[in-house]
A and B are shown apart, each in its own frame.
Chain A
């Protein structure tokens, strides 16, 4: 009564027919029109039992509750801060969510976070108008000092981080750089100039080749090749594989 028109992992475009009949359920990135389930995005087909969804290959970040992001302070108000999040929607961080310290009314909030500061923060709420609430209270959440922020494809962030942070830890160890990757497509890197370059180019490589199998091996080889002539000290403390901690 229902049949698949495409295979798992196929790359499809908007308007492409994925399945016929009522057996399958349309999920993220697809829609149903009469007898067909159709793709609404450019992405990869992901069939999970009877559910068909699309894993997007491209597109700007869509804010989600629970995401850890890197945001930039653009305004300081009486009650908190306004931040840019690398998507169309701004975020608010209220004083009470910023720190456990007691902050007196009328205190100078720029002492905590000033315009231009980058913060690692967590999204606590997204309204129907996509306005974002943030908190800085939580493990690993803090202001970033030094380093630089680069843009990465938000859809590739899971691959860049890897299962339980395995991929990003591999890069951090090989280059001795501090790296934090936000779900919103911003990544922060801090290390020696030459090592930073290797870390950044490795991340770019993952972005470009994430859909080609054998990625982990290739990344391992690439890092070995790039760092073989350099004297990079091994990290002295045992790092947990938590992407938002351990520098």
Chain B
């Protein structure tokens, strides 16, 4: 790790400022665009500062799990494209894209934003599988939050395709959309020294002691968590980070709601 950089970021944070003049609790500007891929059943593009992530939703029909015969499910996949960051390599998903996908999955799954029972077509036989693909276009830091936001926005945008018996008719656009509940929002909080801050840039991610991604719902409860980074957190840290995440989560939720109205 670049110790010079770490010291410089720390010095800045201790003065309550970041390299791009943001305060520790500030997000960069956020934009959400829907229907960015006409062949997907649902899609969205999210930008947080210069970070850009796409998400697409495709539907498939599959067999339910034996222990949940009347429930469909979601399958989340993330691609950290080499196009988006000179450090990313081509190849099968590495552990970072797997972690990203699984954390986004947990946020959506545990919040029960989709009622999996509503995905049932024929109990014990056929259920809808909702495949969410997250694709990074430019990584300028904070892929976790951008990815979660994009996945949720793609679900907001999604329209079920037609179903002729066993076969999906992708050309048919039904009127059926998701009735999304609880609006889970991901906020990643980082710690450096005694400072907590959100929406990190690449440099800040590189030098941070630890990170905690928290997914909160409209009712203020948390539905997913993931700690990352090489250093430990104290319970005091976690307390402060949860507070920050819930406050920022509410702000992001307002943005989501406002976007959908457009």
Asked whether the complex places CB atoms of A and B closer than 8 A, the reply is: yes
How many inter-chain residue pairs (CB < 8 Å) link A and B?
A: 30
Name A193's contact: one of B3, B7, B11 (CB within 8 Å): B11
Q: Are A193 and B12 in contact (CB under 8 A)?
A: yes
Q: Are A193 and B15 in contact (CB under 8 A)?
A: yes
Chain B: residues with Cβ within 8 Å of the partner, total of 13
Give the Cβ gap from B29 to chain A, nearest Cβ, in Å: 16
Q: Which residues of B contact A201 (CB under 8 A)?
A: 21
Q: Which residues of A contact B15 (CB under 8 A)?
A: 192-194
Give the complex CA separation of A116 and B12 in angstroms. Answer: 20
| A196 CB within 8 Å of chain B | yes
| B5 CB within 8 Å of chain A | yes
In chain A, what residue has the closest Cβ to B8?
A148
In chain B, what residue has the closest Cβ to A192?
B15
Name B19's contact: one of A118, A192, A200 (CB within 8 Å): A200
Q: Are B4 and A116 in contact (CB under 8 A)?
A: yes
Q: Are A196 and B4 in contact (CB under 8 A)?
A: no
| A147 CB within 8 Å of chain B | yes
Give the complex CA separation of A201 and B21 in angstroms. Answer: 10
Q: Which residues of A contact B254 (CB under 8 A)?
A: none
In the complex, chain A residues 175-227 whose Cβ is within 8 Å of any chain B Cβ: 192-194, 196-197, 200-201
Contacts A193-B17, A194-B17: A147 and B8 contacting too (C-beta < 8 A)?
yes
Q: Are B4 and A146 in contact (CB under 8 A)?
A: yes
Q: Are B8 and A197 in contact (CB under 8 A)?
A: no
Give the Cβ gap from A232 to chain B, nearest Cβ, in Å: 15
| B67 CB within 8 Å of chain A | no
Cβ contacts B200-242/A at 8 Å (1 or 0 each): 0000000000000000000000000000000000000000000
A residues with CB within 8 A of B = 116, 118, 146-148, 192-194, 196-197, 200-201
Instruction: List 3 A-B pairs, minimum CB-CB distance, nearest first.
Output: A193-B12, A193-B17, A148-B8
